[in-house]
Amino acid sequence: MIQGVKARRNHKEAGWAFAGAVGVAGGRAEGYTVAMDKRMHQRVAGLLSLWCATTYGEGRDMRRYTVRRVPAAALEAIDFSRAAEGRIGQARPESSDHRPETVFRVLHDGTNLYVRFDVRDRYVRSVQTAYQAPVCTDSCVEFFVRPKAGQGYFNFEVNAGGTLLLSYVEDPTRTESGLKRSTPVPEAWGRQVVVRSSLPAVVEPEIAEPLNWHVCYQVPLALFEAFVGDAGRGGAVWRANFYKCGDKTSHPHWLAWSPVSALNFHLPECFGELALEE
């Protein structure tokens, strides 16, 4: 846990600062903030990557999710009850006391990936409505996936109203302007991701009462292949993580499926495995 830290609430913005050395003990990254120079930032990033790799890397207890194969169908006709259920329950200590119960389900048909999130929530707010808007500031669910080893990963971020942000990240090193090498996926591809939400596009003012909501979407595997080449379909093992956040809601929170070692979702070393059925 990070102690004495005044965390910046938006995990997409500039990198997290720690003063002094960061130790890894008992499976926890510990540190103290104020400011640090570029060299210290690189040292901290290296230690956090090492923590993820040694704790959740090859040969360790890595999270694994099996993506079952189903017949091709329109998104509305997909039976998500056929999918295994994954739980997003690893909360960062910088979160408020709000811990929304969030589950995900993923299926594929050899040509498309189908993803669904179900959330038992409170303090729901959703105001971003433009493609590539900062939806992580709203009540938001996220799916980061690396279809091919040695290549970049995609971050699918969708708010409660169904607005999508989608990027292809080749180097998630933090810089003053964001990530070192990240490419927004063109809108022409973004339009091929079919998104459905149970809520209206805008939820404002915030709903503090208990509220269940879901989003689901269909992603053509051709989208991945346009960036990374042949990624394998049935039988392939990808790397991925799933998240729930709400950076600028009244009760901000950051939850993951596979634990992350810092308040930063862009840690591919911490991804689990996504195994696509033949």
The tens digit of pLDDT for each residue in 194-252 reads 999 999 999 999 999 999 999 999 999 999 999 999 988 889 999 999 999 999 999 99
- The owner of tokens 């607005």 is 163
- Per-residue pLDDT of the chain (278 residues), as tens digits, is 222 333 334 444 333 333 223 332 223 333 333 334 445 444 544 555 555 655 544 445 799 999 999 999 999 999 999 999 999 999 999 999 999 999 999 999 999 999 999 999 999 999 999 999 999 999 999 999 999 999 999 999 999 999 999 999 999 999 999 999 999 999 999 999 999 999 999 999 999 999 999 999 999 999 999 999 998 888 999 999 999 999 999 999 999 999 999 999 999 999 999 999 99
> Would you state the pLDDT for residue 11?
44
Strands 112-121 and 64-69 come out as unpaired
> Would you state the pLDDT for residue 145?
98
Long-range CB contacts (within 8 A, 24+) of 53-61: 53/269, 55/27, 55/259, 55/261, 56/258, 56/259, 56/269, 56/270, 56/272, 57/269
Cβ contact 207:139 at 8 Å: no
Helices (H) then strands (E): counts for the chain? 3, 18
Cβ contact 217:115 at 8 Å: yes
Q: Give pTM, 2 decimals.
A: 0.82
What per-residue string of b and e applies to 4-35 under the rule 16 or more CB within 10 Å gives b? ebebebebbeebbbbeeebeeeeeebbbebee
Token pair of 171 as six digits? 């180097």
Is 205 exposed, middle or buried (CB count within 10 Å of its CB: 0-12, 13-18, 19+)? exposed
> Which domains, and CATH codes, for the chain?
64-276 (2.60.40.1190)
